[in-house]
Each structure stands twice: as C-alpha cells, then as structure tokens.
Amino acid sequence: MPEVFTKENKQYYIYENSKGSNGAKSEFSEEEIIEIRTRYITESAKSIYEDYKDRVKFQTFQAILWGRSYSNLPIYSKK
C-alpha cells in the first residue's frame, strides 16, 4: 500500500490546495479578482464594490484589492 501521508502531500493539502479560488470559502474566481484589481487602477474601491456588495463585506473587498486575500495573484497599484 502506498504511503499517502507523506510530508509533500500534507504540505499540498494544507497550504497549496486552498490558495486563492481553490479555498473552500472562496467567493471569487481568479479571473474576477484580476478584473477587480485591474478596474481598481482607474476606479474607486467603493464604485467597484457596488457590483459585488451582495457577495462580500467592504472590509473583505479591501483585503482583496490590497493583496491580503488572494495573494497568489498580481496586485496593481493606483495611478
């Protein structure tokens, strides 16, 4: 019988498997996060949030914009 509880498997299922949109409580896909962050370059956070307010709270939305959530995806800064 093969060993399934190897250190590599544990590492993958604890950390890597749950990053970004792979998480169990993920509200957004990776494409949506990139679109939101791209819009943030030219739009305000509150105007973008109006499109997503039924899915998350504003504080969670800010964490997405600033890279505290979905940190595996690129972060764009305002111009």
Q: What is the tens place of the pLDDT at every residue in 25-40?
A: 567 888 899 999 999 9
Classify residue 38: in a domain, yes or no: yes
Query: At a CB cut-off of 8 Å and minimum separation 6, what does 29 contact?
Result: 21
CB 28 within 8 Å of CB 54? no
pTM: 0.67
In 3D space, the residue among 20, 18, 17 whose CA is nearest the CA of residue 64 turns out to be 20
* Domain region containing 33: 7-66
Classify residue 30: in a domain, yes or no: yes
Classify residue 53: in a domain, yes or no: yes
Could you report the per-residue pLDDT of 12-68, keeping only the tens digit for each? 655 555 555 555 456 788 889 999 999 999 999 999 999 999 999 999 999 999 988
